[in-house]
Amino acid sequence: MKHLTIVGGGWAGLAAAVRATDLGWQVRLLEAAPALGGRARRIHHQGLVLDNGPHLLIGAYTHTLALMQKLGLDTERLFWRMPLNLRNPQGIGLELPDLPAPWNLLWGVAGANALDWRDKLALLGVATRWQRAGFVCTPGMSVVELCAGLRPRVLSHLIEPLCVSALNTPMDQACATVFLRVLRDALYSGPGSADFLLPRSDMSALLPDAALTWLRAHGAHVELGQHQKICPTAQHAGDAVLLACPAWEAARLTQTVNPDWSAQAAQLSHQGIATVYLRRPLSSEGHGPAHEQGHAVLPRPMLALDSGPKAPAQFVFDRGALSGDPAQRGILAAVVSACQGEREHVTPLVRAQIENQLGLPDLQVITTVVERRATFSCTPGLVRPGARIGPGLWACGDHVQGPYPATLEGAVRSGLEVVDQLTQG
């Protein structure tokens, strides 16, 4: 039996471990942290179950959904599914109806109340050109360059929130090639591909918990709290080592094995994500709007926000409405993508933003979680390191060469594909 050692238990490493175990490899997975999940896992704070950052999935994330189903998870019950909705608390923005492409986009643009007829015609014209070109553009273009000719309201109400949420990179710095790939898969991959999938549970319950149970039940060895100080090497012919750790850690581990690959991984720049957790005090007498008497605080489980320098959050999630858990009632999670500020600076700005835009006074700050290197910067012309490092040594993760930005789907696809490559020799 061939042996595979996987260093890193994030979503890429877990996907690789499941695929390799299924193909007959003897798998040993080493994770430095005390829990699996990487940047998509549960955390505990003062008796509350939170996440190190909420994640928004879409219906086009077919590999991630298929992996969950393989592990025995009911994806229909795990997620709150709703058509793409970028409307702010005042109802301004884009919302796609539950229709097949391209009718959903046509109908959504026609009903976009933030845009006038000139905005709509320009947007439909540009979208038509993108489709006719096969969602391919000139290499090295930024999203801003790609969208030249679109009016400011289209950029602020549609392109910018889509770009930041998908690529976690400001649109003037974001790669147009990757942006178009995400749009293509979301809009033209079949019914429901553009739907938002909002987790009803914490992130660990979406994949890491089930993967750990499945792996151990199928003979894989999972070791937590195992920090690799030196780069492991395969001990026998046919065995392999897979680095499923972050880019900077993989770069450190491979400095002497493959200096060129190490340098390429080390040169990746990163973007931060901050999540500000807030609690809305709810009246014990049951006064106030009807939805406040249940678990919901917001009119929808997720709202887009008007963002800017002094209003940095792009989205807010209603954890009570999503989970139905009484312990989560009144808790909101506001997400700041491409976050540059310190926790002490971001937190009061987000609190004031939510209070002003949603009309929710007296919000209490629970905590702010900052992942300073949450994703790589998806910039134009970026060359990402390949999956093969050297004989018997491979890498996977959303930072490894591939068509997707730093998303859970990108991580899962990378883990699955690298195992298929090394299995085929």
Place of tokens 């312990």: 327
pLDDT band per the 50, 70, 90 thresholds, residue 285: very low
Instruction: Pick the closest to residue 177 from 378, 384, 422, 14 (CA basis).
Output: 378
pLDDT surpasses 90 at 149: no
| Amino acid 287: pLDDT | 37
Domain contains 50:
no
One domain, residues 265 and 330: no
Q: At what angle do helices 176-188 and 160-167 cross, to 10 degrees?
A: 100
| Amino acid 232: pLDDT | 59
pLDDT band per the 50, 70, 90 thresholds, residue 35: very high
How many structural domains compose the chain?
Answer: 3
One domain, residues 253 and 390: yes
Domain contains 48:
no
Domain contains 328:
yes
Instruction: Pick the closest to residue 409 from 186, 235, 228, 213 (CA basis).
Output: 186
The rounded radius of gyration (Å) of the Cα atoms in the chain is 22
pLDDT surpasses 90 at 324: yes
pLDDT surpasses 50 at 288: no
Instruction: Pick the closest to residue 397 from 412, 381, 376 (CA basis).
Output: 412
pLDDT band per the 50, 70, 90 thresholds, residue 92: confident
**Residue 111 belongs to domain spanning:** 84-194
One domain, residues 90 and 140: yes
Domain contains 79:
no
Please state, rounded to an integer, the average pLDDT across all residues of the chain: 91
One domain, residues 339 and 364: yes
Domain contains 169:
yes
Domain contains 181:
yes
One domain, residues 332 and 398: no
pLDDT surpasses 60 at 291: no
d(CA 210, CA 227): 23
Residue type, 359: G
Burial of 79 (0-12, 13-18, 19+ CB in 10 A): buried
Any residues with CB less than 8 A from the CB of 333 and at least 6 apart, and which? 50, 51, 54, 275, 276, 277, 278, 316, 317, 319
One domain, residues 372 and 408: no
Average pLDDT over residues 322-347: 94
One domain, residues 263 and 390: yes
Average pLDDT over residues 309-336: 95
pLDDT band per the 50, 70, 90 thresholds, residue 292: very low
| Amino acid 136: pLDDT | 95
Residues 205-245 pLDDT 10s: 999 999 999 999 999 999 999 765 545 565 566 789 999 99
The CATH number given to whatever domain includes residue 348 is 3.90.660.20
pLDDT surpasses 50 at 67: yes
One domain, residues 109 and 133: yes
Average pLDDT over residues 11-34: 96
One domain, residues 323 and 285: yes
pLDDT band per the 50, 70, 90 thresholds, residue 246: very high
One domain, residues 252 and 214: yes
pLDDT band per the 50, 70, 90 thresholds, residue 294: low
One domain, residues 328 and 290: yes
Beta bridge partners of 331: 279
The sign of the CA dihedral 369, 372, 378, 380 is positive
Domain contains 47:
no
The CATH number given to whatever domain includes residue 33 is 3.50.50.60
Average pLDDT over residues 3-12: 96
| Amino acid 243: pLDDT | 96
Contact by Cβ (8 Å): 355, 89? no
Contact by Cβ (8 Å): 57, 408? yes
- Any idea which of 78-82, 97-101, 261-265, 305-309 has the lowest mean pLDDT? 97-101
d(CA 275, CA 78): 21
d(CA 170, CA 337): 9
pLDDT band per the 50, 70, 90 thresholds, residue 290: very low
Task: Specify the long-range contacts of residues 361-364, CB closer than 8 Å, at least 24 apart.
Answer: 362/281, 363/278, 363/279, 363/280, 363/332, 364/278, 364/279, 364/280, 364/281
d(CA 164, CA 171): 7
pLDDT surpasses 60 at 101: yes
Domain contains 310:
yes
What DSSP line would sit under 187-199, residue for residue? HHSSTTTT-EEEE
| Amino acid 97: pLDDT | 86
| Amino acid 100: pLDDT | 79
Any residues with CB less than 8 A from the CB of 370 and at least 6 apart, and which? 272, 273, 274, 275, 339, 343, 346
One domain, residues 250 and 275: no
Average pLDDT over residues 96-102: 81
